[in-house]
Structure 1
Amino acid sequence: MANGQGYGGANGYGAAPPQNPYARNPYAQAPYGQNPYAQPVPAPPPPPPPPHPSAYPSPRPEAGFPGPAPRRNRLVVLLQFLLQWIYAPLWILALVAFFVILILADNVGGGSGPSSDGWLKVNRSFIPPRRLRAELTGRPEHWERYVTPILARRIAAAEAAHAAGDGELRADHGRVVKVGLPLRLYRGLGAAGVVRLAERHGWHGSASGTDAEHVRIARHFPAPAALNAPSPQDPPAPPGTPWGPQPVRFAPLLPFVFLLQIVYVPVYGLLTFWVSRPEPDYWDRWGARWTVGPRAFRAEFTNSPAAWDRHIHRILDRDATRELARPATSYRGLAAPDGSFLRRVHLKRATYRGAGAHHALRLAAAQGWTLDPAYTPDPANSLRLCRPDHS
Structure 2
Amino acid sequence: MANGQGHGGTGGYGAPPPQNPYGPAPYGQNPYAAQNPYAQPVPPPQAYQPQQPYPAQQAHPAHPAPQPRPVPQPQPPHPAARFGAAPASAGGTGGFPGPAPRRNRLAVLLQFLLQWIYAPLWVLGLVLLFVVLILADYNGGGPSSDGWLKVNRGFIPPRRLRAELTGRPEHWERYVAPVLERRIAAAEASYAAGGGEVQPDLGRVVGVRLALRLYRGLGAAGVVRLAESRGWHGVASGTDAGHVRLARHFPAPATLNAPSPHDPPAAPGTPWGPQPVRPAPLLPFVFLLQIVYAPVYGLLTCWVKRPEPDYWDRHIRRILERDSNRTRPTTTRTPDGTLALRIHLKRATYRGAGAHQALRIAAAQGWTLDPAYAPDPTNSLRLTRPAAPTQP
Over the matched positions of the two proteins, sequence identity in percent amounts to: 72
Q: Could you tell me which residue of structure 2 aligns to residue 374 of structure 1?
A: 372
Deviation at 1:297, TM superposition (A): 2.9
Q: Could you tell me which residue of structure 1 aligns to residue 170 of structure 2?
A: 141
Please list the CA deviations of residues 345-364 of structure 1 after superposition, one character each: whole Å capped at 9, or x if unmatched: 11111111111111100110
Change (3 A) 1:180 1:224: same
Q: Could you tell me which residue of structure 2 aligns to residue 78 of structure 1?
A: 109
Please list the CA deviations of residues 5-42 of structure 1 after superposition, one character each: whole Å capped at 9, or x if unmatched: xxxxxxxxxx96589xxxxxxxxxxx9998xxx9xxxx
Q: Could you tell me which residue of structure 1 aligns to residue 333 of structure 2?
A: 334
Deviation at 1:296, TM superposition (A): 8.1
Change (3 A) 1:301 1:203: farther
Q: Could you tell me which residue of structure 1 aligns to residue 123 of structure 2?
A: 92
Superposed, 1:241-280 pairs within 5 Å as 241-262=270-291
AA paired with 2:99? P
Q: Could you tell me which residue of structure 1 aligns to residue 151 of structure 2?
A: 122
Contact 2:239 2:245 in 1 (8 A): yes
Q: Report SS of the residue matched to 1:208.
A: helix
Change (3 A) 1:62 1:17: closer
TM-score relative to the length of structure 2: 0.72
For 1:300 and 1:213, locate their aligned partners in 2 and report how far apart those are by CA, in whole Å: 57
For 2:259 and 2:300, locate their aligned partners in 1 and report how far apart those are by CA, in whole Å: 25
Please list the CA deviations of residues 214-234 of structure 1 after superposition, one character each: whole Å capped at 9, or x if unmatched: 001001100000111111122
Q: Could you tell me which residue of structure 2 aligns to residue 42 of structure 1?
A: none
Superposed, 1:11-30 pairs within 5 Å as none
Q: Could you tell me which residue of structure 2 aligns to residue 108 of structure 1?
A: 138
Deviation at 1:209, TM superposition (A): 2.2
Q: Could you tell me which residue of structure 1 aligns to residue 352 of structure 2?
A: 354
AA paired with 1:312? I
Q: Report SS of the residue matched to 1:305.
A: coil
User: Greater helix share, 1 or 2?
Assistant: 1
Contact 2:235 2:247 in 1 (8 A): yes
For 1:129 and 1:292, locate their aligned partners in 2 and report how far apart those are by CA, in whole Å: 53
Q: Report SS of the residue matched to 2:237.
A: coil
Deviation at 1:304, TM superposition (A): 3.7
Deviation at 1:341, TM superposition (A): 2.8
AA paired with 1:113? G
State yes or no: 1:309 paired with 2:313: yes
Q: Could you tell me which residue of structure 1 aligns to residue 382 of structure 2?
A: 384
For 1:18 and 1:257, locate their aligned partners in 2 and report how far apart those are by CA, in whole Å: 111
Please list the CA deviations of residues 293-352 of structure 1 after superposition, one character each: whole Å capped at 9, or x if unmatched: 549834576444311111111111111122xx658xx85x62445x42321111111111
For 1:366 and 1:295, locate their aligned partners in 2 and report how far apart those are by CA, in whole Å: 30
Deviation at 1:257, TM superposition (A): 1.5
Please list the CA deviations of residues 40-75 of structure 1 after superposition, one character each: whole Å capped at 9, or x if unmatched: xxxxxxxxxxxxxxxxxxxx9981211111101111
AA paired with 1:372? D
Larger of the two Rg values belongs to structure:
2
Q: Report SS of the residue matched to 1:187.
A: coil
TM-score relative to the length of structure 1: 0.72
Please list the CA deviations of residues 109-153 of structure 1 after superposition, one character each: whole Å capped at 9, or x if unmatched: 73x322211110100000011211111101000000111011111
Contact 2:98 2:222 in 1 (8 A): yes
What's the Cα RMSD here?
Answer: 3.0
Deviation at 1:251, TM superposition (A): 2.4
Q: Report SS of the residue matched to 1:315.
A: helix
Change (3 A) 1:190 1:311: same
Q: Report SS of the residue matched to 1:368.
A: coil
Matched pairs, number: 309
For 2:157 and 2:350, locate their aligned partners in 1 and report how far apart those are by CA, in whole Å: 47
For 1:292 and 1:216, locate their aligned partners in 2 and report how far apart those are by CA, in whole Å: 45
Q: Which runs of 5+ in 1 are unaligned?
A: 4-14, 20-30, 39-59, 266-290
Contact 2:231 2:248 in 1 (8 A): yes
